[in-house]
C-alpha cells in the first residue's frame, strides 16, 4: 500500500487557521486568512513527494471533516491500486488521447474523418467543460453528469444524439486514462439519453435534385476566373458521383484514381469504385458499381492529377484533397444560386447520399443490396428509411429510369 504520512501538527499558524487532524492524522482540514472561512483539505503523498490540496467548499467544520475523510478514502484507494494522484492536467490528458487516436488512424483502426470528429468534440466542448488546467486527480465519477446541461446552454439547438456521441468520446478518454493509471475507474457517470426516433436528415426530393444539378451545370459556366470555373465544375461532378454511388463525404474526399474503373456495357458507361477499408467509416472495404461512368471521364479532361495515386477531387494546382471549408463554401454558393437555400429543409452533402439511397429503395432495390453498396447495415437502412410511405412507393412503381439529353443524371419519367 502507498504511504500517506501522518506528520501534521495543529499548533497556531498565521497561514493555517482552525486546523483539525482527520483520518488518524493522515490529513488535515483548515482555513486560511484568504479562504473566507471555507475549509481546505491537505495531505502528503510520499510516492510523488507532493502535498495534495483541495477546497472543500464548506464553512461547517462537521461537514468539512466528513468531506475530508471521503477525500482521504478516495486517495488511499488510488494509491493502493497504483494510480497517480498528480500528473497530467485535463488538457494534457486529452492531448495524449488524441495522439493515441492518431496512432489508431495510422494503423487503420479508425478513419481520418472519425479522428477529425473526435478532435473537434474534444477541443470545442470536452476540454472547456472542465478547463484544460484542471488536475486529472480532481476528476471523479460524477464530473460529467452536468455536461449535457452545459452543452444545451451553449447551444439550445444541439441534438440529444450529438450529446450522446460526445459522451461516448468522454468515456473513451476516461478508459484510456484508466489503462494508463490516471483514473481508478474505467468510465464516468453520464446523463442517460435515449434516442426514441432515429436521427433522420433531410433529403432532396426529385424536383429539388433536378434543380440542383441543372443549376450546377449553368453555375460553373458563369465563373469569372479559370480557378473558379475549375472548382465549380469539380463540385458538379462531385455531386453527381456522390448521389449515384451513395459514397460518404469522407470517402469521396479520399478517393484516388487507382480506386476507379470505367466499364462499358450495353452502350452505357458504369463506374466501379473499389473503396479500401482505411477510408471507409465502418472499416470494411467495399465495391460500388453505379451508372454514369462518364462523370469520371469528364474530370480527367481538366484535372492535372490523374495518376493512380492521385486524388480524384484535388486542388487545382496541388495534388491534395480539397479542404472541407472550401467544399462547404462552394456548396453554400451553389445553394444560393439555385434558390434551394430558401428551402425549409437543411440540405447538405449528406442529403445527396440520402437521396441516392431513397431513390434505389423506391425503385425496388432490396434493403440488403442497398446496404451493401452504401456501406452500412440492413438494420440501419430499415431504421432510417422506414418513413417511406406507400403512396410514394406506388407512385414510383409506375415510373422508369432515363437520362436527360446530356446524360448528366438518372431521373424519373412517366411511362
Please report the DSSP string for 278-346 in residue order: GGSTTS--EEEEEE-THHHHHHHHH-S--STTSBSSB-SSSSSBPPHHHHHHHHHHHHHHHTGGGSSS-
Alpha carbon of residue 273 to chain centroid: 25
- Reading the block at residue 27, the C-alpha cell is 490529513
CA-CA distance, 141 to 138, in Å (whole number)?
10
| Res 375: pLDDT | 86
Question: DSSP letter at 72?
Answer: H
What count of other Cβ atoms lies within 10 Å of the Cβ of residue 46?
Answer: 12
**Quick check: 206 and 411 in contact, CB under 8 A?**
yes
Please provide the distance, in angstroms rounded to a whole number, between the alpha carbons at the two ends of the chain.
Answer: 82
Given a cut of 50, is residue 404 above it in pLDDT?
no
Q: What is the dihedral of CA 121, 125, 126, 127, to 10 degrees?
A: 110
- CATH number for 206-414 (one of 3.40.50.300, 3.90.1720.10, 3.40.50.1000, 1.10.443.10): it is 1.10.443.10
Using only the alpha carbons of the chain, give its radius of gyration.
29
- pLDDT tens-digit series, residues 137-183: 889 999 999 999 999 999 988 888 889 999 999 999 999 999 888 88
> What's the grid cell of residue 174?
476516461
pLDDT band at 393 (very low <50, low <70, confident <90, very high): very low
Domain ranges of the chain: 4-80, 90-179, 206-414
Q: What is the rounded CA–CA span in Å between residue 47 and residue 38?
A: 28
In the block, residue with C-alpha cell 470517402: 251
Residue 94 in contact with residue 173, Cβ under 8 Å?
yes
Q: What does each C-alpha distance from 6 to 248, 296, 315 come to in angstroms?
A: 61, 75, 66
Backbone angles phi, psi at 80, to 5 degrees: -60, -40
Three-state DSSP state, 40: strand
List, for residues 210-255, the tens digit of each pLDDT value: 999 999 999 988 999 999 999 999 999 999 999 999 999 999 999 9
Q: How far is CA 26 from CA 51, 69, 289, in A?
A: 12, 10, 70
- pLDDT per position as a tens digit, 116-134: 889 999 999 999 999 888 8
- Per-residue pLDDT tens digits for 52-86: 888 999 999 999 999 999 999 988 887 887 766 77
- With helix as H, strand as E and coil as C, how does 267-284 read? CEEEEEEEECHHHCCCCC
- What does the block give as the cell for 336? 444560393
Q: Which pLDDT score is estimated for 161?
A: 85
Q: What share of the chain is helix, strand, coil (3-state, %, to 5)?
A: 50, 15, 35
Report residue 414's pLDDT band, with 50, 70 and 90 as the boundaries: very low
Mean pLDDT taken over the chain = 84
Tell me the C-alpha distance between 4 and 347, whole Å. Answer: 60
- pLDDT, tens digit (0-9, with 9 covering 90-100), for 25-54: 999 999 998 889 999 999 998 877 888 888
Amino acid at each position: 500500500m502507498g504511504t500517506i504520512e501522518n506528520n501534521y501538527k495543529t499548533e497556531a499558524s498565521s497561514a493555517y487557521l482552525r486546523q483539525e487532524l482527520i483520518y488518524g492524522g493522515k490529513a488535515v482540514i483548515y482555513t486560511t486568512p484568504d479562504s473566507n472561512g471555507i475549509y481546505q483539505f491537505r495531505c502528503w503523498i510520499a510516492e510523488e513527494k507532493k502535498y495534495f490540496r483541495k477546497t472543500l467548499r464548506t464553512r461547517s467544520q462537521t461537514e468539512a471533516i466528513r468531506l475530508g475523510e471521503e477525500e482521504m478514502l478516495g486517495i488511499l484507494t488510488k494509491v493502493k491500486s497504483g494510480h497517480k494522484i498528480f500528473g497530467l492536467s485535463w488538457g494534457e490528458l486529452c492531448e495524449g488521447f488524441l495522439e493515441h487516436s492518431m496512432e489508431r488512424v495510422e494503423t487503420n483502426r479508425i478513419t481520418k474523418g472519425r479522428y477529425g470528429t473526435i478532435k473537434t468534440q474534444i477541443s470545442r466542448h470536452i476540454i472547456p467543460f472542465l478547463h484544460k488546467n484542471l488536475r486529472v486527480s480532481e476528476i471523479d465519477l460524477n464530473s460529467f453528469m452536468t455536461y449535457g446541461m452545459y452543452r444545451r446552454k451553449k447551444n439550445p439547438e444541439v441534438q440529444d444524439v450529438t450529446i450522446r456521441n460526445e459522451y461516448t468520446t468522454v468515456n473513451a478518454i476516461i478508459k484510456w486514462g484508466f489503462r494508463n493509471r490516471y483514473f481508478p475507474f474505467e468510465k464516468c457517470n453520464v446523463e442517460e439519453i435515449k434516442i426514441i426516433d432515429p436521427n433522420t436528415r433531410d433529403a432532396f426530393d426529385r424536383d429539388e435534385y433536378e434543380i440542383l444539378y441543372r443549376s450546377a451545370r449553368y453555375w460553373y459556366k458563369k465563373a469569372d476566373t479559370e480557378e473558379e470555373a475549375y472548382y465549380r465544375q469539380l463540385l458538379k461532378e462531385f455531386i453527381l458521383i456522390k448521389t449515384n454511388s451513395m459514397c460518404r463525404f469522407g470517402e469521396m474526399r479520399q478517393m484516388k484514381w487507382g480506386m476507379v474503373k470505367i466499364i462499358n456495357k450495353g452502350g452505357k458507361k458504369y463506374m466501379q469504385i473499389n473503396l479500401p477499408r482505411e477510408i471507409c467509416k465502418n472499416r470494411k472495404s467495399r465495391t460500388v458499381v453505379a451508372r454514369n461512368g462518364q462523370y469520371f471521364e469528364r474530370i480527367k479532361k481538366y484535372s492535372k492529377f490523374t495518376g493512380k495515386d492521385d486524388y480524384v477531387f484535388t486542388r487545382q494546382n496541388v495534388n491534395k484533397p480539397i479542404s472541407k471549408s472550401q467544399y462547404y463554401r462552394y456548396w453554400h454558393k451553389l445553394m444560393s444560386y439555385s434558390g434551394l437555400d430558401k428551402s425549409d429543409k437543411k440540405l447538405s452533402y449528406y442529403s445527396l447520399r440520402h437521396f441516392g439511397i431513397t431513390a434505389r429503395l423506391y425503385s425496388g432495390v432490396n434493403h440488403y443490396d442497398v446496404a451493401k453498396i452504401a456501406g452500412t447495415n440492413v438494420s440501419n437502412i430499415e431504421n432510417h428509411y422506414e418513413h417511406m410511405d406507400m403512396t410514394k412507393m406506388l407512385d414510383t412503381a409506375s415510373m422508369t429510369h432515363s437520362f436527360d439529353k446530356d446524360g448528366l443524371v438518372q431521373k424519373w419519367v412517366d411511362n
